[in-house]
Structures are given as C-alpha cells and as structure tokens.
Structure 1
Amino acid sequence: MADLAGQVAARYRDVSRTERGFIRGKLKGDPAVAALLALGAARPFGRVVDLGCGRGQLAIALLLAGVAEHVTGVDIDAAKIGVARAAADGLPARFEVADLAHAPLPPCDTLLMIDVLLQLPLPAQDGLLARIAASGAGRIAVRAFDPERGWRSALGFGMERVRRLLGGDRGLAGAVAPRPLPEIAAPLAAAGYRVEITPCWAGTPLPNVLLLAERS
C-alpha cells in the first residue's frame, strides 16, 4: 500500500507539497481504499465510474494496482477535476465536471460513491440513489455515514458540522442529514441487487460503513 500511495502521489507534480502529502496519506490511511483494493484484487472492477472523485487519487490507485481497466471520475469541483486530469495523463481515465444531483451516470461495470451522499440535500440523495439503482452496473460500492452507531455517529455529526463551517459551506452548515442505511439499501435491493453492509472505519472514530451491492 505504501508503494502504491507513493506512485500515485508522484503523479501529482503540479500541486503543492501539502496536497501531495494529503493524497499520499489518504491512500495509506483511508480504510475504504484498502477495502476496495481487496475487492478488486479478488474480482477486478472492469470499467469503473467514481462519483465524487475529487482529485482522482482513488481512481488512479485502482488503475495502477491493476484492478480496473478504465475509470471515469465525476465531480462538481472543476479545480479538482483539472488536477485529476493532469495526474492521470497516459492512463485509461477520463474526468468530468458534473453536478451529481442532475448528471446522467456513464455506463460501467462497477460504480463507486465514497463519502458523497452526506454532502447532498435529501431530495438530491433520493434522485441519485434512484439513478444508481437503475444504472445497470454489476457492482456498486457506497461508503456512507451510519447515523445509528452510537458515540461514533455523535462524533461524526459534530466533526461534519465543524468541517462545513470551516470550509465555508454555509448552505449546508448544520444540515447534516445522513440517510439511515436501510433507506440507502432499499432502492438497490428493489432493483435486484444483493446488498451487504460492513464497517469501514478501521483506525478512525467515524461511523463509516461500506455498502456493497451486487447483482443476484
């Protein structure tokens, strides 16, 4: 993992040392990265769509690890998409600026959505989940905030409110509204997916879980 994180971070030549350090640390320390790499090693992901891809470090890691054959990353932040495009030069990847509340989902074998739902208003969450369920992807992986994990959830709520205030996201400040996990799983199960939910917080105090949906 350390070697892979270093390989990915080395591609971000046009960002600050601080940003490169963040990217390397995210890949080494985020339990979602380790979980997805293990899933992909067991059964490759094929064509991947990464919703809310940010700077693209996860997408690039999947390609360099050989567990994805092509990745399309989608994010609303144009600056981060520009960084992702530069870092992915020469790789089978495409990064697009789009608002996930409205954008059509590209066709894929595997669809990833890591830490995205919590950042959307509830009506947009409903619409996005419906489009994901109808996407036709063979495998869907969603990391979500579980609001029913006791002290972990209480701490997560507090940290998210502070993050939004410090980040200037005034429109969402105080409106932390994670979906109960059964509400996330329901449209996927109704579309014929077999859904499994496992903790995805190793080494952190957060209430994150990984919801994996596969065609029955």
Structure 2
Amino acid sequence: MLAMNKNKVVLASFCILAGAVMFTACKDKRSTGLEYARNMYDPIALNPDQPVSTTNDYLKSFKGQTAQTPPANTTPVGFDRYDDYPNTKEGYEAAGANLVNPLPATAANLESGKHYFKVFCSPCHGEQGDGQGHLVKIEKFNGVPSYHGDAASSRGGLMKDLTAGKIYHTIEYGLNNMGSHASQLSPEERWKVVMYVQQLQKIQ
C-alpha cells in the first residue's frame, strides 16, 4: 500500500513538472523555453566581423575591429605562396622555366585531372582540348585556342609546346577572356589539370 502511494506521488510530481515545463515553453512563441548548457552554443570567441567594444586592455588593441590583418611575413595554414611568379610576362616565362609538376603521373591523378578539366575547362576549351567547347558554339565567341595541332598561344609559341609551369600560371591568373581559376581549384587540383592538359597536347 505504501509503495503504491509512493508511486502515485512520483507520477503526480512528474506530471506536474512536465506540465509546468510545457506551459513555460508555450506561453511566448518567441521563447526557446528552458535552456540547458547555454555556453555550448553561445560562442566564447569573438565573431570575426563584429565590432569590439570593451574595456579589456588586450581587446583595446583591436581598435574596434575583430578581424585583423595578419602579421607581416606570415602564411595561412594550407596556403601556397606564389609570389615568385607575378601576373606578368616575366612571371609567366619564369614559371614556364622553373615550375615542374610535383605530382606523380599516375592513372588516378590523370583521371582526377580529366574530371576537373571537364568541369572547369571544357565548356570553352572542349573535352578534347580543341577549343570547341559548347560555350564557344552557343555564344559564338572566337579566340579559344586548341591544345594540339598548330594553334598559337597569344603569348608566343604553340599551345602544344606549353610547359607545365606556363599552364599552371595561366590557371592561377587567367589570360585574355579566361578568368583566374585559383579560387575554384586548389594547387593540387590545378596540377592535376595541368597533367591532363599535357595529355591533350599529344593529340595529333
């Protein structure tokens, strides 16, 4: 009998508590109700683009801005510097003479390069690298060179003779109507595209 009464008391207490929780959660539609461990979803760190207003001596050095210019001569993690080869004719020639593809010429890398070429390059250059991509046919614009045959580069020489460094430099900065693809392709992906383009250069 005593055990039954104890169970009823526990059940009644649970029902009252659940009802109270539901009531507090529903009384204001904008309320999130009871919150548990709020510090797990409220960021402790400063938001990058929010203004800073504080009396803290360290944060005063931020001068009202959270996002700061990186210190001089520093490089972000995972970022490859390309300062030695500026977007000039001289930088292009230097890249052509000095840069070599660091990736091994494996079937997997070549297949990956083919994929990236098809996605980012073939709309203009064509899947066979013949300069007859579907955008060329639809938009009717000229000047997209073929990678094989006797097509000439606008910077001199034949397209089929371009070195890996020159192709990489062009992907990095763009040329003529072609924009830079540095934001679309990582350095490794660019080298894979270079590898595939050099396969297309061999087409007779």
Does TM, normalized by the shorter one, top 0.5? no
TM-score, normalised with respect to structure 2: 0.21
TM-score, normalised with respect to structure 1: 0.20
Query: Which protein has the bigger strand share?
Result: 1
Look at both structures and tell me which one has the larger radius of gyration over its CA atoms.
2
